[in-house]
Amino acid sequence: MSARVVAVTFDVGGTLLAPWPSVGHVYAAMAARRDGAAPDPEQINRRFHAAWAARGAAFDYSREAWAALVRETLRGLTPCAEDPAFFAALYAHFAGPEPWRVFPDVVPALEVLRQGGYRLAVLSNWDTRLRPLLQALRLADFFEVLVISGEVGWHKPDPRLFAHAARQLGLPPRQILHVGDSWAEDVGGARRAGWQAVWLARNSLVTGAPGPDTVPSLRELADRLLSGAV
Ligand SMILES: [Mg+2]
């Protein structure tokens, strides 16, 4: 029998918000403004997702790591790929709210969980741009604690980051539930740290009924928690 959940921590990218209309569309629009010619957004998306999937444990969410990933994504598609001033503008652009959209289920789920007495926190592989971004997107005030990997020095799934978050919350691991869209980083990391975990599968082509550790939306997670099903 699981311990009662006291706090819920949330991943951010793919869980609370996502680039809008897409990484490729944002990169292409900025390249067009700088170079005059727009590369194909869908081609950028394919390149980005391949580079992101292959980034490996060495990716430390630093500005330098992002610069290398963007260069790899755009190489051969636009002269901006090798332009440090372009990367600086892109990096600054993603610090602001304009290229992001909060998923529509996020605020209703956070409101319901807050009313239900749950303590809420963020646990994200991100950098110093995240605090002002969550403020600008009007999400920051829902959370008691923001645990951001680039500030702490460890990244999910490193159990040290989860341990740090548990200390911040002052709770034993089993009383914290983490939700995120990465099975390896969010669910795997949380479970190895002794936490409860639920996988958010927003777009997965799940055949049959989702398992007890999978939800299609954060609203569904909130409903399950409040009905005692988690
Ligand atoms: Mg994520």
Type of residue found at 110: L
Task: Band the pLDDT of 228: cuts 50, 70, 90.
Answer: confident
pTM of the full predicted structure?
0.95
Q: Is residue 161 included in any domain, yes or no?
A: yes
Residue 176 CA, ligand 1 centroid: distance in Å: 18
**Paired sense of beta strands 7-10 and 176-180, if any:** parallel
pLDDT of residue 5: 96
Residue 126 CA, ligand 1 centroid: distance in Å: 10
Q: Is residue 112 included in any domain, yes or no?
A: yes
Same-domain pairing of 174 and 87: no
Q: Is residue 142 included in any domain, yes or no?
A: yes
At 175-219, the pLDDT tens digits run: 999 999 999 999 999 999 999 999 999 986 665 566 779 999 999
Same-domain pairing of 105 and 195: yes
At 12-52, the pLDDT tens digits run: 999 999 999 999 999 999 999 998 888 999 999 999 999 99
Residue 197 CA, ligand 1 centroid: distance in Å: 14
Residue 36 CA, ligand 1 centroid: distance in Å: 33
Strand, coil or helix: what is 28?
Answer: helix
Same-domain pairing of 29 and 107: no
Residue 157 CA, ligand 1 centroid: distance in Å: 12
Q: Is residue 82 included in any domain, yes or no?
A: yes
Q: Tokens for 131, please give them.
A: 């605090």
Same-domain pairing of 160 and 209: yes
Same-domain pairing of 105 and 191: yes
At 68-115, the pLDDT tens digits run: 999 999 999 999 999 999 999 999 999 999 999 999 999 999 999 999
pLDDT of residue 1: 42
Print the domain residue range for 133: 7-18+101-226
Percentage of the chain modeled with pLDDT above 70: 96
At 110-120, the pLDDT tens digits run: 999 999 999 99
Same-domain pairing of 51 and 68: yes
Residue 183 CA, ligand 1 centroid: distance in Å: 9
Number of CB atoms found within 10 A of residue 127's CB: 19
Q: Is residue 1 included in any domain, yes or no?
A: no
- Tell me the C-alpha distance between 177 and 173, whole Å: 8
Residue 37 CA, ligand 1 centroid: distance in Å: 31
Residue 28 CA, ligand 1 centroid: distance in Å: 23
CATH of the domain at 201: 3.40.50.1000
Question: For residue 189, which of 152, 147, 156 has the smallest C-alpha distance?
Answer: 156
